[in-house]
């Protein structure tokens, strides 16, 4: 199985901050990576697919980059509604795996 690690696992930030989350894969996964946002008690919401393509309806302050084994999700200016947990997922090969998550909290 392809393992995904995320760093940091937790970050505390203020509204307006630039935030970067890293996802690393144990094997090359090309660009077959997605990012999700999950709020408490809610289903995950697809933000980014194919490592860097913004899902329709997602604000442009979210962006993704990377390929191979290292990927980043950036929020250019954190908004109050962005406080949530973020997961990466690889879809290069079965079984699809998720990262352990990064919780973004209010500073």
Partner 1 sequence: QITLKESGPTLVKPTQTLTLTCTFSGFSLSTTGVGVGWIRQPPGKALEWLALIHWDDDKRYRPSLKGRLTITKDTSKNQVVLRVTNVGPVDTGTYYCAHRRIIAGAGYFEYWGQGTLVTVSS
In this chain, which of 2, 11, 46, 54 binds partner 1, going by CB under 8 A?
46
> Is 62 a residue that touches partner 1 (CB under 8 A)?
no
Report the chain's C-alpha Rg in angstroms: 13
95 prior amide bond cis, ω within 30: yes
CB 8 → partner 1: shortest distance, Å?
A: 15
Torsion of CA 39, 9, 99, 29, to 10 degrees: 120
What would the two tokens of residue 42 be? 């809610």
> Is 96 a residue that touches partner 1 (CB under 8 A)?
yes
How crowded is residue 44: how many other Cβ atoms within 10 Å of its Cβ?
A: 17
Interaction pattern, residues 63-92, with partner 1; x per rule: CB under 8 A = ------------------------x-x-xx
- Distance separating alpha carbons of residues 16 and 7, to the nearest angstrom: 20
CB 62 → partner 1: shortest distance, Å?
A: 15
Interface ranges with partner 1 (CB under 8 A): 1, 31-32, 34, 36, 38, 42-46, 49-50, 53, 55, 87, 89, 91-92, 94-101
């Amino acid at each position: 199985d392809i393992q995904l690690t995320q760093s940091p696992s937790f970050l505390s930030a203020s509204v307006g901050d630039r935030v970067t989350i890293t996802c690393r894969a144990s094997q090359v996964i090309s660009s077959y990576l997605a990012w999700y946002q999950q709020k408490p008690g809610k289903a995950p919401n697809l933000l980014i697919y194919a490592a860097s393509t913004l899902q329709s309806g997602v604000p442009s302050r979210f962006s993704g980059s990377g390929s191979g084994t290292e990927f980043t999700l950036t929020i250019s200016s954190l908004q109050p509604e962005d406080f949530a947990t973020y997961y990466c997922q690889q879809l290069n090969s079965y079984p699809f795996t998720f990262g352990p998550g990064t919780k973004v909290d209010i500073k």
